[in-house]
Structure 1
């Protein structure tokens, strides 16, 4: 395999832990074996499964997208950069939904022609967003409306969690309300309560993380 992947995050983790526990005279070796079994091997397996998933999807989609052919991916710098970022993020992701989002981003980075500044911003946001963020963002995209519609919940913990998700999306400018921003020339429609909708960046992000859309 390419040397780019020879030094994985889990490799550095294992090396550091091995060095530390190796100083312990009695439990050192058993603990090293435990770490290799419980952390090193599963982490490598997750990474390999993630890469295999991208390969399988790219192979299936080659009929619809020439950009996913090996000879084109070889010279596609934005695909390669997104791939490396996604592999790094996948190493610390435990859910299948999160990995699917990352795989979609890799494939879409190969298919779409993105401005590099935009791609970097999308990857930066991707590192912070969870599947829960994406689901809420999709709900707002399908039905923009009063902020209350997206946070009301009888369960206090769920209510606060939704507010936390919305705060994250506001801070990354994936969503906005209907208040005009400084310097904005477009007059926003005023309503009795704050309405929330996607920004252009929010729409671009959803396109970045959704399954590639084959031409009809």
Structure 2
């Protein structure tokens, strides 16, 4: 049976109040509908938070030999800070990929190789800002040959091309969407996670070399599943 954890009543009240204020601002909405919607939103948000925490707890239990038991972690301010920050971001998304990244990051925050707390805060801010597509693109750019092998797509051969060319092949959802590739790529480059332009012409050897910076590699390590060998 999946373990359960107490619901934060203060938080539930706060969410209910936010929902009430939101519905009250809609012209013509009666008080009965206000109550129904506010309670429904608060209930759903509470269920999402509880589910995320339960899944985090299961992950912590499986990694207990590496990071300590619940009692040990509850006394670790770094872990408490990481879980609090991650949970706040988790409240704002239902994307499965992003919720998993947040659980990974909360645990990696107390791993022996964890970055310092300032860098952790920076990385949590990036998780909040990025979409799953940003993260997939960063993983591709960190190891283009490995990405193609993992997704089971044959590597294209070019005499010379731009990195955007292999992105269109390796991420079919972006095929023909140079506008989106530029937007996602800009998000990664302006935050210092990748080097260079995705549109500059390169030799074939250059196309398959990593484009991530040291900061980009650290970020990927921070969001990697700690249960992955």
Q: Match for 1:54 among 53, 56, 67?
A: 56
Task: Summarize the Cα distance change of 1:109–1:23 in structure 2 as closer, same or farther, 3 Å threshold.
Answer: closer
1:1-216 correspondence to structure 2 within 5 Å? 5-8=8-11, 11-18=13-20, 21=24, 27-37=30-40, 39-63=41-65, 65=66, 67-112=67-112, 113-143=114-144, 146-152=162-168, 156=176, 158-177=177-196, 197-213=211-227
Task: Summarize the Cα distance change of 1:192–1:91 in structure 2 as closer, same or farther, 3 Å threshold.
Answer: same
Q: How many residues align?
A: 198
User: Partners in 1 of 2:28 and 2:162 — Cα distance?
Assistant: 63
User: Cα distance, 1:22 vs. partner?
Assistant: 9.9
Q: 1:68 touches 1:111 (CA, 8 Å); kept in 2?
A: no
Partner-residue secondary structure (3-state), 1:176: coil
Bigger drift between 104-113 and 146-155 goes to 146-155
TM-score normalised by L of structure 1: 0.77
Task: Summarize the Cα distance change of 1:31–1:76 in structure 2 as closer, same or farther, 3 Å threshold.
Answer: same
Structure 2: state its 5+ residue gaps.
146-160
User: Cα distance, 1:23 vs. partner?
Assistant: 11
Q: 1:21 touches 1:32 (CA, 8 Å); kept in 2?
A: no
User: Partners in 1 of 2:35 and 2:83 — Cα distance?
Assistant: 31
